[in-house]
Amino acid sequence: MTSEIHIPDPESVPVLAVHVGTTNDTSGAPRSGWAIYDGTGELVAFVDYAYRGLPAMRKPYGWLPVTGQLSITPGQYRELRRFDTPQGYRHPTWAENPTARTV
C-alpha cells in the first residue's frame, strides 16, 4: 500500500492561525479570534471568536497549526476586525480536499 501526502505550496495557502485576544468589551463579551497568515507571513484573514470557539476557524481553514493566545490591545483587535480579505482572493484549505491528506 502506497501512501500519498499532498502538501500545498505554503506561499499560496494559509499556514498558521495566531490566536489573539484582549480584554472583554463593556458588556462582558470576549474579544478574541484568529489571525490567519500565509507562508510569506502575510495576514490573509481574521476570524472572530464570537462565542463559536475553535470550530469558527476550523470550518473555513481546516486544521491549521494554532498558537497559544497572544494578548493584544483593544485597538489592535479593532484593526484586525476591520481587516478585509482582498476581493477575489480565495483561500484554498485542507478541508476542501480531504483526499489530499490521504495517509
Distance CA 60, CA 93 (A): 7
Residue 65 or residue 1, greater confidence: 65
How far is residue 75's CA from residue 26's CA, in Å, rounded to a whole number? 14
Average pLDDT of every residue of the chain = 75
The tens digit of pLDDT for each residue in 37-71 reads: 888 888 888 888 878 888 888 887 778 888 888 99
Q: How confident is the model at residue 97 (pLDDT cuts 50, 70, 90)?
A: very low
Cell numbers linked to 8: 500545498
CA angle 45, 46, 50 (to 5 degrees): 150
DSSP-based three-state secondary structure for 29: coil
pLDDT of residue 6: 54
For the chain, state the CA radius of gyration: 15
Domain ranges in the chain?
A: 14-89
